[in-house]
């Protein structure tokens, strides 16, 4: 009988890890739905540096000092407090209690640090909640930010409040730990509130908090896949694979180069016979990197808050571009899960999710790209969809067609004669 | 007015010589009335520094930037390939241009299609001339005057060049009064991504008006920039300003010409 808790714990742990891995596999499958071309991944050292600086070092977060600082606290707290998980898991599996407490002083230092961070995280998260729900900072609101995205953002904050509180309460009700008086910097202050409680009651309280805490963490782990909180994992690969060239460089389409070479009568390697499609209209046309971008997006809205089109009331919102992309990829993936392979659903990312009106409002100013704290590139999806509109659908605003005709016929976007190109000096 | 000294690359070739740089004038610089003045201002600077430069004249054609950003990669690559053919046939090594869009495309997008050149924006090139002691700017008529600067997206964010134009504003001894959104956070003028050539989508406001309002809140009465398209958009956006709000939109090259009375 005495092993029952250990067995329950192990079963919980294993099943939630299994569920997590299943979701990771699905994530990988969905990312690989993207068959579009990406530039080769060169210069790995630079990429490692970017990842260390931008994801690990949070360098872009601090461009907005308040949010940046608070985020760093939560981020550090998350990493540091999770060290304690090692002990919790060992205790849970083997039925020990605070297995590392025997190391003495250092244990106290660590737990003390965890407790301090738990309080800091609590404060930061409450401020975050206030910014969203009381101050109502503009970038957290737009038409795409209702329903699940809004609930998701709040849920994460509630999760953290509950987990941090449970962590502190679990320490505060642990009589043995309080008696050790080693590292109970914060919980030692909560302990007196339980003064009148019998040892028996405290024991049950401690056990309840302990179990709720670890169950909460396992739920949170499996919540990630369905949440914008997935960025805590994906920010790392995303910053690694993010572009390392000048952001002004828009990728070269090799497929077009081949065609143009043929048209210009230059010798070219024989083309493979596969059907070439230009640009992006749905999930499989995206590149894996663009889908990774979409899954990484934290929905923070920094991009949208600096987008000149959005600022001036146009429909375009780079955050929405990323969110719609993720939604469509998810739907596409679920369709595959249901049917074994994708069954036509008469929807497209371009059209049903993202409208032409949004796409044509972009000035390619790169503000969204510059602003994103985890190297997401909404512009690349916008441009690939424009490519589809022009090269597959021949659907451009009339004025743009005129502009392109001019370039084609007289080498300038306006109807001037190329022969007159030196006349500026007259 | 002094006669500008301009020669085409072809003329150089016929003489059996080649110039130090190619000045890529660009479509706006060739045809747009406002931008033509920027072209001339830059040529005055080149002339005064005795730089041997050539232009392509009627051999020049649109780089293809607006086509590429509209989504027409075909048209872009056709433009790019024929331009590269011409550039390579003249054995061009160094290109200077007054247009950040041409600059970005030539510098970042032509190499993939076989055209690799050393490409400078004119503000970068003027800085280089200063560094090499081939040109000098000291004070002049803008001494102590407040000037603000609008970062063109394709020079700033797209290519991380924030200092070259600012350094030149300092050189003419003007006081640089930054806009609230500047450098990497600068607001677009609204012309990029082929927007210049179409009506904007439905919204509350035009982007250049949003930027103009920011300019109004700045105490400087001169707005410097380094892009013919930004210049047009900001001139349009600020033209309704009256009396003490009136501002003048100038290219950095024009400021230098005026400061030095070239
Ligand atoms: S590049 Fe396009 S989407 Fe991104 S901020 Fe600029 S206008 Fe908005
Ligand atoms: S794309 Fe980047 S900046 Fe925009 S909402 Fe997502 S994470 Fe935030």
Report pLDDT digits (tens) over A98-142: 999 988 899 999 999 999 999 999 999 999 999 999 999 999 998
Q: Where are the domains of chain B?
A: 9-131, 146-260
Q: Do A424 and B112 touch (CB under 8 A)?
A: no
Checking if the pLDDT of A267 tops 70, the result is no
Q: Do B201 and A316 touch (CB under 8 A)?
A: yes
Residues paired with A175 in a beta bridge: none
Q: How many Å lie between the centroid of ligand 1 and the Cα of residue A369?
A: 8
Q: Considering only CA atoms, which of A277, A243, A235 is closest in space to residue A366?
A: A243
Are residues A205 and A194 in contact, defined by beta-carbon separation less than 8 angstroms?
yes
CA–CA separation, B204 and A166 (whole Å) = 48
Residues at CB less than 6 angstroms from ligand 1? A 307-309, 316, 318, 362-368, 378-379, 382
Q: How many Å lie between the centroid of ligand 1 and the Cα of residue B184?
A: 13
- Residue in chain B closest to A245 (alpha carbons) equals B108
Are residues A144 and A318 in contact, defined by beta-carbon separation less than 8 angstroms?
no
How far B100 CA sits from the closest chain A CA (Å)? 10
In this prediction, residue A263 carries a pLDDT of 84
CA–CA separation, B129 and A73 (whole Å) = 48
Could you tell me if the CB of A324 is within 6 A of ligand 2? no
Which CATH number is correct for B9-131, 1.10.405, 3.30.300, 3.40.50, 3.10.450? Answer: 3.40.50
- Residue in chain B closest to A389 (alpha carbons) equals B71
In this prediction, residue A272 carries a pLDDT of 64
Q: Do B188 and A423 touch (CB under 8 A)?
A: no
CA–CA separation, B8 and B56 (whole Å) = 6
CA–CA separation, A362 and B29 (whole Å) = 24
Query: Radius of gyration over alpha carbons of chain A, in Å?
Result: 27
Q: Considering only CA atoms, which of A219, A4, A206 is closest in space to residue A97?
A: A206
Choosing from A139, A248, A249, A307 the residue with most ligand 1 atoms within 8 A of its CB, the one to mutate for a pocket test is A307
| Chain CA centroid to CA A8, Å | 33
In this prediction, residue A270 carries a pLDDT of 64
Q: Do A311 and B190 touch (CB under 8 A)?
A: no
Q: List pLDDT tens digits, range A315-367.
A: 999 999 999 999 999 999 999 999 999 999 999 999 999 999 999 999 999 99
Question: SS3 for B98?
Answer: coil
3-state secondary structure chain A: CCCHHHHHHHHHHHHHHHHHHHHHHHHHHHHCCCCCCCCCCCCHHHHHHHHHHHHHCCCCHHHCHHHHHHHHHHHHHHHHHCCHHHHHHHHHHHCCCCHHHHHCHHHHHHHHHHHHHHHHHHHHHHHHHHHHHCCCCHHHCCCCCCCHHHHHHHHHHHHHHHHHHHHHHHHHCCHHHHHHCCCCCCHHHHHHHHCCCCHHHHHHHHHHHHHHHHHHHHHHHHHHHHCHHHHHHHHHHHHHHCCCCCCCCCCCCHHHHHHHHHHCCCCCCCCCCCCCCCCCCCHHHCCHHHHHHHHHCCCCCHHHHHCHHHHCCCCCCHHHHHHHHHHHHHHHHHHHHHHCCCCCCCCCHHHHHECHHHHHCCCCCCHHHHHCCCCCCHHHHHHHHHHHHHHCCCCCCHHHHHHHHHHHHHCCCCCCCHHHCCHHHC
- Residue in chain A closest to B61 (alpha carbons) equals A411
Give the model's confidence band at A296: pLDDT under 50 very low, under 70 low, under 90 confident, else very high.
Answer: very high
Q: Considering only CA atoms, which of B67, B256, B225, B249 is closest in space to residue B153?
A: B225
Q: Do A256 and B73 touch (CB under 8 A)?
A: yes
Fold of B146-260: Rossmann fold (3.40.50)
**Within 13 Å of residue A50, how many CA atoms lie on the same side as its CB?**
20
Please list every residue in chain A whose beta carbon sits closer than 8 Å to the beta carbon of residue B205: 312-313
Please list every residue in chain B whose beta carbon sits closer than 8 Å to the beta carbon of residue A414: 27, 31-32
Q: Do A402 and B202 touch (CB under 8 A)?
A: no
Q: Do A391 and B74 touch (CB under 8 A)?
A: yes
Checking if the pLDDT of A228 tops 80, the result is yes
ipTM value greater than 0.85: yes
Please list every residue in chain B whose beta carbon sits closer than 8 Å to the beta carbon of residue A60: none
- Residue in chain B closest to A314 (alpha carbons) equals B203
Count residue pairs from A and B with Cβ separation < 8 A: 214
> Among A142, A363, A373, A419, which would you mutate to test the B interface (most chain B Cβ atoms within 10 Å of its Cβ)?
A363
In this prediction, residue A269 carries a pLDDT of 66
Phi, psi of A200 (to 5 degrees): -60, -50
Per the document, the length of chain B is: 262
Phi, psi of A266 (to 5 degrees): -90, 145
Residue with tokens 């969110």: A323
Could you tell me if the CB of A333 is within 6 A of ligand 2? no
**Within 13 Å of residue B167, how many CA atoms lie on the same side as its CB?**
15
Mean pLDDT is lowest, of A154-158, A180-184, A289-293, B127-131, for: A180-184
In this prediction, residue B1 carries a pLDDT of 58
Ranges in chain B, pLDDT < 70: 1
Checking if the pLDDT of A2 tops 90, the result is no
Give the model's confidence band at A271: pLDDT under 50 very low, under 70 low, under 90 confident, else very high.
Answer: low
């Amino acid at each position: 009988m005495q092993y029952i808790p250990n067995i329950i714990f192990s079963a919980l742990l294993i099943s939630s890890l299994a569920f997590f891995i299943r979701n990771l596999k699905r994530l990988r499958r969905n990312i690989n739905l993207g068959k579009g071309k990406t530039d080769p991944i060169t210069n790995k050292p630079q990429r490692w540096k970017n990842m260390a600086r931008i994801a690990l070092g949070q360098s872009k977060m601090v461009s907005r000092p308040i949010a940046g600082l608070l985020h760093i606290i939560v981020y550090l707290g998350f990493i540091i407090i999770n060290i304690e998980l090692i002990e919790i898991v060992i205790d849970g599996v083997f039925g020990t209690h605070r297995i590392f407490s025997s190391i003495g002083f250092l244990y106290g230092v660590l737990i003390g640090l965890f407790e301090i961070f738990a309080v800091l995280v609590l404060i930061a998260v409450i401020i975050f909640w206030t910014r969203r729900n009381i101050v109502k900072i503009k970038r957290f609101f737009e038409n795409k930010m209702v329903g699940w995205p809004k609930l998701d953002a709040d849920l994460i904050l509630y999760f953290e409040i509950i987990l941090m509180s449970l962590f502190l309460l679990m320490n505060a009700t642990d009589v043995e730990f309080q008696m050790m008086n080693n590292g109970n910097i914060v919980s030692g202050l909560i302990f007196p509130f339980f003064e009148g409680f019998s040892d028996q009651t405290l024991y049950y309280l401690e056990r309840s908090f302990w179990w709720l805490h670890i169950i909460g963490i396992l739920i949170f782990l499996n919540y990630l896949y369905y949440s914008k909180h997935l960025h805590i994992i994906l920010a790392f690969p995303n910053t690694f694979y993010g572009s390392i060239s000048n952001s002004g460089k828009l990728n070269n389409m090799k497929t077009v180069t081949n065609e143009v070479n043929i048209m210009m009568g230059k010798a070219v390697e024989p083309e493979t016979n596969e059907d070439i499609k230009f640009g992006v209209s749905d999930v499989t046309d995206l590149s894996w990197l663009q889908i990774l971008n979409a899954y990484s997006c934290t929905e923070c809205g920094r991009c949208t808050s600096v987008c000149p089109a959005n600022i001036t009331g146009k429909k375009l919102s780079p955050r929405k571009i990323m969110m719609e992309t993720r939604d469509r990829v998810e739907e596409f993936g679920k369709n595959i899960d249901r049917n074994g392979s994708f069954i036509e659903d008469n929807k497209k990312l371009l059209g049903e999710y993202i409208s032409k009106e949004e796409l044509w409002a972009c000035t390619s100013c790169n503000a969204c790209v510059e602003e994103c704290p985890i190297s997401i590139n909404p512009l690349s999806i916008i441009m690939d969809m424009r490519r589809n509109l022009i090269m597959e659908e021949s659907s451009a605003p009339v004025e743009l067609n005129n502009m392109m005709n001019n370039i084609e016929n007289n080498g300038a976007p306006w109807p001037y004669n190329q022969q007159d190109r030196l006349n500026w000096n007259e | 007015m002094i006669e500008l000294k301009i020669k085409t690359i072809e003329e150089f070739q016929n003489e059996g010589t080649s110039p130090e740089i190619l000045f890529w004038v660009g479509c706006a610089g060739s045809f747009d009335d406002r931008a033509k003045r920027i072209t001339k201002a830059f040529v005055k600077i080149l002339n005064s520094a005795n730089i041997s430069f050539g232009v392509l004249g009627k051999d020049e054609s649109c780089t293809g930037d607006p086509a590429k950003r509209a989504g027409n990669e075909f048209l872009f690559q056709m433009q790019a390939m024929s331009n590269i053919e011409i550039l390579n046939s003249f054995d061009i090594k160094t290109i200077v241009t007054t247009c950040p869009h041409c600059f970005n495309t030539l510098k970042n997008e032509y190499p993939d299609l076989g055209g690799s050149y050393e490409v400078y924006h004119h503000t970068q090139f003027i800085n280089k001339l200063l560094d090499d002691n081939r040109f000098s700017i000291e004070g002049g008529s803008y001494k102590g005057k407040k000037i603000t600067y609008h970062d063109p997206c394709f020079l700033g964010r797209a290519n991380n060049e924030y200092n070259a134009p600012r350094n030149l504003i300092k050189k003419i001894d003007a006081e640089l009064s930054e806009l609230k959104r500047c450098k990497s956070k600068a607001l677009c003028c609204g012309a990029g991504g082929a927007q210049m050539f179409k009506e904007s989508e439905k919204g509350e406001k035009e982007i250049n008006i949003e930027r103009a309002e920011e300019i109004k809140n700045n105490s400087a009465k001169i707005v410097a920039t380094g892009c013919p398209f930004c210049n047009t958009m900001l001139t349009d956006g600020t033209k309704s300003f009256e009396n003490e709000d009136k501002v003048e939109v100038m290219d950095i090259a024009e400021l230098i010409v005026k400061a030095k009375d070239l």
